Structure 1
């Protein structure tokens, strides 16, 4: 290994560490940009008359397995009946 091309300090490859940090920083910037885009879409939905809270719930439900959705709906119905709703 060429020490000048990849200096090692305390057993740590400085170039490798720098590469990892820079990749994470780029991804964090992308995530920040995507978060802004998502916020804009929620704003668009709200201005179109949609309930953003409900849209967030729908997105959460779509990520779940069908059996999980069924279980939660069943529990919700049981709890509602238990408190007289």
Structure 2
């Protein structure tokens, strides 16, 4: 490869590294913001663990949630943790 080609490859590599570093910085900033929001919610009396669960559930569609709930009920019933067998 020519010296010009070496420089082009080096410049491309540097550009990729710098772009990745920039995005990692943005992600860190966003994660810090999210941590602050959870801190505010906790200060207002909200249960952060439950808030995270709610956010996780909102990412799923209704069918996916229903299927997971049915499987969970089946397992809990099999372990004697709930009285009523799952419907269906």
Give the TM-score of the pair, scaled to structure 2. Answer: 0.79
Partner residue, 2:70: 74
Q: Name the stretch that deviates more: 71-80 or 34-43.
A: 71-80
Provide the alpha-carbon RMSD of the alignment. 2.2
Higher helix proportion, which one? 2
Which has the larger strand fraction?
A: 1
Structure 1 ranges of 4+ moved more than 4 A: none
1:27-77 per-residue CA deviation (whole Å, 9 max, x = no partner) reads 000000110000000011111111111111111111112211001111222
If asked which structure has higher relative contact order (CA below 8 Å, sep 6+), I would say 2
- Name the CA distance, whole Å, in 1 between partners of 2:15 and 2:81: 59
Residue of structure 2 in register with 1:32 after alignment: 28
Q: In the alignment, does 2:8 pair up with 1:16?
A: no
Number of residue pairs matched by the alignment: 80
